Structure formats: structure tokens, C-alpha cells
Structure 1
Amino acid sequence: MEENKHIKLPLGTVSLSPELGSYYIDMRPAKIHYQPNIWGGDFDQNGVPRISFKGELGYFPINIAQYGFMLHAEWLETGNIETLELMKSCLNVLEEIKTENNDHCVWWHNEINYRYNIEPPWASAMAQGELISFYLRMYQILGETDLLNTALKSYEFMRVNVSEGGVRQYSEDLGTWLEEYPSDPPSFVLNGFIYAIFGIYDLYRVTRNELINEDLQRLLNTVKNNLSKFDAGFWSYYDLQKKELVRYYYQKNVHIPQLNVLYQLTNEPVFLKYAEKWERQLTSINYLIVKIMYRVLPRVRKLKKLISF
């Protein structure tokens, strides 16, 4: 089983203070994933992580943002200049690979997403949200207004509908959703949506813009009203399109910490209810069931494809 566990924040430590501090979830336990060759990748000459796309090394925005959160947490504790320089190197790469105009800023993904059958270029609400959070933290360190403006434009792109090449999905059944994977049919991935919300929450904390807050409350209500759909009874689902059980690592280190943070942000009991329920379900027998399913399901899909011919 996975032993890494994100640090839970005590109730009351998440606030509306404009001084952002460290990211909502301590991602440093996942730093082991950034070792060379874990994803077939490495670090460039300036210490920025790269991953492999069909044998070619490239930059992945989410990968860089989350590494930035790890560095930022360390820098807040140590004030180490070398750590700050690494954060600046990450920022420089993100500046190089962004697409920005007068209205929007977006980090395009230029590879095919086979899981949801998405042709490039495509954008991810999770990436946009996490990059907003990283840019705002760098803005507060460096004081460069352009970083704040980029964060605002990144949010404006998050208001663009999936049908128009954006990431915002409207559903009569679910409400307003921000898609980590803007697929057709919609994927409705839970963790990516919540990470996107964290970015918007940060933007409201810094700007106090009431229109952003109205949107934030709308999105929080979507999660609150649909959380039960991700409950498999004994585990949690990754999305609503395929309804696959999440891996043990995701249940423990992503879904549960995210819901704990949402409870701290909102005091909504439903977030605490499922955080505690899914944590109770981190048992050896459930772990074994999930592990078996991940071995069996690919074989079942392969058999179905053979039968279809």
C-alpha cells in the first residue's frame, strides 16, 4: 500500500486572508514521483521537471505547477535562495509555453488524450486552476503585476465553454462544471474540478472581486450537490463518464485531503461526511478489491473488443 499521506490542516487554518501562504494540500510527500525516469522524464538544466511524450521530453503544466507548490512550501519554511531560484525557473518555463492575448491565458496540451479521446490542442481546468495558484504565490513573492494579470486572464479562459474550446461544462443534471478533460461526452473528473476551484478561491482571496466569488460559490454548490455520485459505496469514483474506482493513492492522497479542505473553506457537512467515510474505507480488504479490479478490467475491455470483431 502507499504510505505517503498529505498533511491535514486543522479546521480554521484555511481563511480568506489575501496572503496565500502554502498550497492547500502539502504535495511534498509526492516529490518521490519527480525522481528521474519515474515518468520517463528528467529535469532540464535549470531544474524544471520534464516528462516523456512518446519518447520525447517535454513540459507538462500540471507537473510544473505541483512541483512549484512543493518548492514554495519548502521556501516558506527555510527561505532558501536556491529554492526560490528553482521556483523562478519553473515560472520562466511556464511563461515560455503559455498562450496569452488581451483576454485569455491558456496552457495548451499538444498530445492526444486516449482515455477520453481528445484531440490536441486542448486545455485543462485543473492546469488552469493550479497555475493560477502558483502564479499568485509568485506574484506575492516578486511583486510583478504581470503575474497577477496572467492569473486573471487564466481565470477568464476558465469561463469559456467546452463547445468553444474551453473548459466550462454546463449540465442540466449536474450544474456548472470545470473539466480537467474537456471530452465529448463529458468526463466530469472530481479531483481536477476541485483543484480548479482552489485556483479560483485563491484569486478571490487576492482580488476580493465579488463576481469571482459568485462564480466560486456556484462551482462549490456543484461539487456539494453531486458528491454522492462519486461514492461507490465502499470506495470513490474517479469520474462520471467511466465510473472507474480510483487507485488507493488517489483515495488517500487526493480525494480525502481535497474534501477536508473544502470542508474547511465552506463548513458544509457533506464534504466532511465523505472525507471521513472514504478515509474509513482505507482498509486492507478494500485495497485488495481495487487492486484486483485494476488487473481484471483491462482484460475485460480487451475481450470485449475481440468479441466486437
Structure 2
Amino acid sequence: MAITFYNLQKWCRMLTGKSIQHVNQGLGKAFSISELKGYYNDLTEKVSESQELDSEGIPLLTVDSGEKIYFPIMIFQYGLGAYDLYLLSDDKSMFEKAKKCADWAMEFQNKNGSWDNFAYEFPDHPFSSMAQGEATSLLLRLYETSKDERYLSAARKAIDFMLLDINNGGTTEYLGEDIFFHEFTHKPVVLNGWIFSIWGLYDYNLVCGTSETKKIFEKTVQSLVNHLDAFDNGYWSMYDCAGMITSPFYHNLHIAQMKAMYAITHNAKFQEMAEKWSEYQQSIINRSRSFIKKAYQKILE
């Protein structure tokens, strides 16, 4: 990443929680583990007055060049946050916001079930398991509320593409008994993206899963449990399995995700990691050390 005034501003906004992409995302406030209700982490702060929208109410992302683009993950998260606000307040305007995002998802879904999530930055690697999973979560919530079969059909296509082998153009890596979901198909596994993808599959299984998709869910959760220690460096959590440390935002997100995964699976490993990473936060030495390392890694990008 080049050291420019623009990038320094962006980095500061991320650290202070003033970036719309890096607002607080704690444990979801309205989710259920037995039926489809709210989302598993709290995306409601995404639905903010500071969020730039187009004339139809769809979020826009301003990239480094200054261009405004439609970034699918941002749109899906905005929709999920709005849906939670609808559940929490019975505010019909929030439901309409979520519906607009789900309708956008259907309109711009490729025939193979994918979305060109990273096309603006990685044109040769546009797909993301995280986009597929979060779109599935949003579409299924609209289906459960409206019973409009179009949302269910789009969700099925989204999961089918997500589970396609990465070697065949999909976003899932099948390696022996391990199953990894790739937020970036050309990069190492990213922890938060893997979990967002898992939640999409979990939602799918709640609504219309098959024995095969349920088996894949069980295998990828076990893979996550088996590899969680690789995302811990002894004083902070890691962004990916290749040694990239997290910012404070992603560290907080990881803790919330561990709590949600424990609620969903009752696997004690997730509770253990949530407690360990929470303890890391209490140490000013750990916080300072992680900040310095993260800043250094950003400069080298």
C-alpha cells in the first residue's frame, strides 16, 4: 500500500471506527440458532447517515481513485443490518432498505450464481465466498419474510457457486478432510471471511439444506476448529493464515465471531478463543505491539 495522504486518512478512519466499513460489529442482537431471524454479528451501524447511497438507496463505496462503485459485500451487509433494525424496532422503512439490497443482489447476480465482488481491484479474481455467504443470508431472510421464491432460487445459486471447487472457478478449497472457504480466491484463508461464509451455509441449512450441504457445514466447522490456533500469534489474533495480524477492528470482530460460533455449534474451542482474545485486549503491551506490527505490514503492502 503506497503511503499517501489519502491512505493515511483511510487508515485513521478505520482505527477510530469512523469508516463505514469498520464500525463496531459486536455479537448480533436478534439471532436464533434454530430458525432464521437476525444476523450473527451486529451490522446495524452499517445503516448510518454517513453511508453514501445512490438514488435508489443502494450503498456506494468510494475507492482510492475517487470512483464510486457498487461493492457487493457492502451492499449485503447494509441489507443485513437494516433487516436486524427491522426486527428490533418493527420499523417498516428498515425492511424496505433490506429488500432493496436483496433485490439488487438478484438483479446483479451472474448466471452462475456469483457476484463480481472484487472485480474493481482484482479483475482476474473477482469472486468471494464471503460475498456468496452474506448474499445467501440476506436473500433467505427476505424469502422467509415474503415467501417470494425468487429469493430462495437466488440463494440456492449463490450456495452452489460458493461450494464449487476453487480449482474449478469457485470459492471453496477441498483439501483432504479439510474444507476452507476463501474470501479471496487467490490469497490465503482469511478468518473473518471464512466465518461469514460459514454463516451463509448455516442459514441455507436452516431453510432448505440437503444432507450434502449439512455434511459440508460440519466439515468446514471442524476444519475451522482444527486450524484456529494458526490465527493466534500468542498476543493477538491474525487476519489470515499467512501471518497478517489484525487491526483493532478485526480483533474485536473475531471475538464477536467466536462468541457467535460457540452459540451455533456449542464447541468449546470457540469460547476458549473468545476468552483468550478478550484477555489479549486488556494488555496495553499487546495492543501497542499489535498496532506497531499492523502499521508496519500496511506500509509493506
Length-normalised TM-score, structure 2? 0.85
- Structure 1 distance, partners of 2:138, 2:260, is 18
- Structure 1 distance, partners of 2:161, 2:79, is 22
Task: Report what 1:90 is aligned to.
Answer: 101
Task: Report what 2:33 is aligned to.
Answer: 15
- Structure 1 distance, partners of 2:205, 2:255, is 24
- Structure 1 distance, partners of 2:184, 2:47, is 24
Deviations 1:67-112 (A, max 9, x none): 1111111111222222222222222322222112xxx411113535
Say whether 1:160 aligns with 2:171: no
Report deviation, 1:222: 0.7
Report deviation, 1:22: 0.7
- Structure 2 distance, partners of 1:48, 1:164, is 32
Length-normalised TM-score, structure 1? 0.83
- Structure 2 distance, partners of 1:293, 1:78, is 41
* Pairing partner for 1:81 from 82, 87, 92: 92
Task: Report what 1:146 is aligned to.
Answer: 150
Task: Report what 1:289 is aligned to.
Answer: 289
Report deviation, 1:249: 1.0
Check whether the contact 2:140–2:204 (CA below 8 A) recurs between aligned residues: yes
* Pairing partner for 2:129 from 117, 125, 131: 125
Check whether the contact 1:256–1:279 (CA below 8 A) recurs between aligned residues: yes
Task: Report what 1:257 is aligned to.
Answer: 256
Task: Report what 2:231 is aligned to.
Answer: 230
Assess, with a 3 A threshold, how the Cα gap between structure 1 residues 98 and 219 changes in structure 2: closer, same or farther.
same
Assess, with a 3 A threshold, how the Cα gap between structure 1 residues 112 and 88 changes in structure 2: closer, same or farther.
closer
Check whether the contact 1:112–1:120 (CA below 8 A) recurs between aligned residues: no
Q: Superposition pairs for residues 105-124 of structure 1, below 5 Å?
A: 105-109=113-117, 111=119, 113=121, 118-124=122-128
Check whether the contact 2:181–2:197 (CA below 8 A) recurs between aligned residues: yes
Say whether 1:43 aligns with 2:47: no
Q: 1:43 aligns to what SS in structure 2?
A: coil
Assess, with a 3 A threshold, how the Cα gap between structure 1 residues 90 and 30 changes in structure 2: closer, same or farther.
closer
Check whether the contact 2:125–2:185 (CA below 8 A) recurs between aligned residues: no
Q: 1:176 aligns to what SS in structure 2?
A: strand
Task: Report what 2:222 is aligned to.
Answer: 221
Q: 1:216 aligns to what SS in structure 2?
A: helix
Report deviation, 1:124: 0.2
Larger mean CA deviation between 121-130 and 280-289 belongs to 280-289
Assess, with a 3 A threshold, how the Cα gap between structure 1 residues 48 and 108 changes in structure 2: closer, same or farther.
same
Assess, with a 3 A threshold, how the Cα gap between structure 1 residues 60 and 267 changes in structure 2: closer, same or farther.
same
Q: 2:60 aligns to what SS in structure 1?
A: strand
Task: Report what 2:246 is aligned to.
Answer: 246
- Structure 1 distance, partners of 2:77, 2:139, is 12
Task: Report what 2:272 is aligned to.
Answer: 273
- Structure 1 distance, partners of 2:231, 2:47, is 28
Q: 1:95 aligns to what SS in structure 2?
A: helix
Check whether the contact 1:230–1:238 (CA below 8 A) recurs between aligned residues: yes
Q: 1:199 aligns to what SS in structure 2?
A: helix
- Structure 2 distance, partners of 1:216, 1:95, is 24
Task: Report what 2:7 is aligned to.
Answer: none
- Structure 1 distance, partners of 2:179, 2:166, is 11
Query: 5+ residue gaps in structure 2?
Result: 1-14, 18-22
Deviations 1:135-171 (A, max 9, x none): 0001111210111111111111112122221101133
Report deviation, 1:7: 4.5
Pairwise CA RMSD: 2.3
* Pairing partner for 1:52 from 62, 66, 69: 62
Say whether 1:181 aligns with 2:192: no
Deviations 1:182-241 (A, max 9, x none): 01xx41111101100000000101114222111110110110110011110010111113
- Structure 2 distance, partners of 1:84, 1:31, is 12
Q: 2:246 aligns to what SS in structure 1?
A: coil
Assess, with a 3 A threshold, how the Cα gap between structure 1 residues 14 and 96 changes in structure 2: closer, same or farther.
closer
- Structure 1 distance, partners of 2:53, 2:288, is 35
Assess, with a 3 A threshold, how the Cα gap between structure 1 residues 207 and 282 changes in structure 2: closer, same or farther.
same
Query: 5+ residue gaps in structure 1?
Result: 37-41, 303-309
Identity of aligned residues (%): 27
Task: Report what 1:39 is aligned to.
Answer: none
